[in-house]
Structures are given as C-alpha cells and as structure tokens.
Amino acid sequence: MSVTAAQGFEAAGVAVGLKSTGAKDVAVVVNRGPRKVGAAVFTSNRAKANPIIWSEQAIADGVVEAVVLNSGGANCFTGSFGFQTTHQTAEKAAGLLGVSAGDVIVCSTGLIGSGDEVFRGKVLDGVEQGVAALSAAGGEDASLAIMTTDSRPKLAVVSRDGWTVGGMAKGAGMLAPGLATMLVVVTTDAEIEPAEADAALRRATRLTFDRLDSDGCMSTNDQVTLLASGASGLRPGLDDFALALTEVCQDLAQQLQADAEGASHDIVIQVVGAASEDDAVTVGRSVARNNLFKAAIFGNDPNWGRVLAAIGTTRAAFDPYDVDVSFNGVRVCTAGGPDRPREEVDLTPRRTEILIDLRVGAATATILTNDLTHDYVHENSAYSS
C-alpha cells in the first residue's frame, strides 16, 4: 500500500486525460493526523518548476496536510500562468479538504514547457476527483498516477514495533543528485517533530537518492516529501527512525536505478580506502558520469583504464599508481597496473559491481548508476514527440 501503509493516511490516483494513454495522472495523498508534520528536500537546480517554488514556501512551517501530484506536464517555464496554476491546485485541494492552501504541497512531472488552460483545467478536475476517491487502500493507485516513462510503480514499506514508514517514487530518467532526485512521497505514523523529520529526511536522502546518478541529468521538478501523522502513538528513537526511513529511501532508490531508461546494467560503484567520505563520493560519481566507462559496461567490456582515467580528473586524495579496481569480484587492476585477465570478468548479469580501493584511508561510499545504451539515446531523442 506504500504511502497508505502507515496509519493516518489516505490516497487516490485518477485519470483526467493529462496522459495520452488514458492512464492515471493525478494523485492525492492526505495526512489525517492527529499530527500534520511535514519535511521536504528539493532539487538544487536553479531552474525550478512552479511546484518547487510553491512547495519550498509551503514547507517552511513544517506542517503539511496533503500532497497533490500530477504527471503529464512539468509546469516548468510556463510563466506567471504556471505559478497561478500551482496556486490554484493547492487552493482547490485545500477547499475540498477544509485546510489551508499553505499546507498543501504540489508536485508535477512531465515535459518541461507544457502547461496551458487545458492542462490547468484537467489538473483541477483531477484534484476534485482525487479527493472524492481518497481511501486507506489508495496508495497503489497514487503510485501509478505519478509515473511518466517509468515501466512500473515504485513502492516500499518498513515496519517496526508498532510504527511504519511507507513510500512511493517515480523516476526513470534525469536521475542525478541535487538533495533529492525524482518525485517521492514517504509517510510514517511515528510521532516526530518537524525539526526531527527534516534532519532524518536529509540524512536519508544524502545516503540514498543523492547517490543515485543514473545519467548525470538533474531535473527541474525533483522533490522528496516526508509526512508524519503520529497515528501510531509511538515515538521511536531518532536513530531508529532515521534508519527505517533510510531503508525505505534506499529501497526506492534501487528501484529507480533498476527502471532507468534503456539501461541494461545496474552498476554499483563502491569506493573504499578513501581519505574522506566526500572523496569517496567524488571518485564514485566521476566514474558514474563517465560516458566512456558506461558505454564499455554496455558492451560487457571490463575496461579498468576508463575507471582510472575518470577518477584522475578529481581532486580526491590518492595516488593513481596505487589504486586497485575490481569488476564483479575480479581484481583487474592493482597498484595502477594490470592484475587478473579481463577474460575472467563476466559482465553479462544485469547487476554490475565495481570496487575501487584508493588505499589512503578508511572512508567509503557507494554510488548507483547505469550503463549508456542505444535504447537510452533513442528514448530521449523522441521524448517530446
């Protein structure tokens, strides 16, 4: 049930014609309380969609009553009309739910530059239909309604002793870090304060969504929202809550990686022996964003030279002539030179593990990415057609 697995939440997903396929395209998630705690992180892209501009203001007081999400149109670079559309979306939901518009988060996803009177009318109609269809069993419909190029919905639930964290996500392209990537709604019935929710969410996204770097492209509409109802009546330890939240976010991040547009390999880049966590992240990301490396993986070629060339562009502390590199458990490079024969490496499985040992410290980090395929290029060359 994803976002309705925790007590105190209702959701719905409806179809109003934003998608040409007739599939569900507007979702509503409502926190029935008793607590109405909210926290969110947003894309760091300076080009922000109207829902991001609105939601950054709405989240400031740490109170969120509802989230309205639409697919089939990003409502980005649509001028004052677009911001008015977002405002009217929040007002419509607020009026139907009997809450303040300032406590309604709005999310949109789809083609940048799309948004007109027809779009606005369909979104507002979707809000009305969505609120009318709200139920504790509506989590799956909501997850279907936020899909764009996704091939399947992304759902995750973790339950502890009497309290639960559940979430849904969408995203298959434009997956690169910026505090958060894609659209995600996570709910919990644990009792937590707004500042605690914010800290736990930032901790979780830093270790999960922020380390998913599928194609190096950062969207204008990305946000991750956490809602807490307190309906369980239980207050877990903050570390326990943060761990459960991180587990849900990691599960969703891995599902997003597995559904990346056109990908044939899910690549896990683990960097060990780094002088600092920041260095480990920087090195891992340099490989994840290297098109030559990604193309080699698509061709099942364990080209460790491309790994060393990629990490050599960073300012991380290491000696490039004292680095070990392994592909799927086979160390093909040691101390900056050849080790085991490439023929021993099997890159035909979809999951591909790269281990980079910098041999200068004890810090580690893991970055998730995908290979670069013909299908990825084809899908994105025809995205707006």
Residues assigned a catalytic role = 181
- Which two three-digit tokens encode residue 377? 């290029």
Burial of 319 (0-12, 13-18, 19+ CB in 10 A): exposed
Question: Quick one: which H or E segment has residue 166?
Answer: strand 164-170
Residues composing the chain: 385
Backbone angles phi, psi at 366, to 5 degrees: -125, 130
* CA atoms within 13 A of residue 239's CA, in its CB half-sphere: 0
* Cβ within 8 Å of residue 261, ≥6 positions away: 149, 172, 173, 215, 375, 376, 379, 380
- SS3 readout for 296-330: HHHCCCCCHHHHHHHHCCCCCCCCCCCCEEEECCE
* Cβ within 8 Å of residue 67, ≥6 positions away: 27, 28, 29, 104, 105, 106, 107, 185, 225, 227
Question: CA–CA distance from 177 to each of 59, 205, 254 (Å)?
Answer: 21, 10, 14
3-state secondary structure of 107: strand
3-state secondary structure of 374: helix
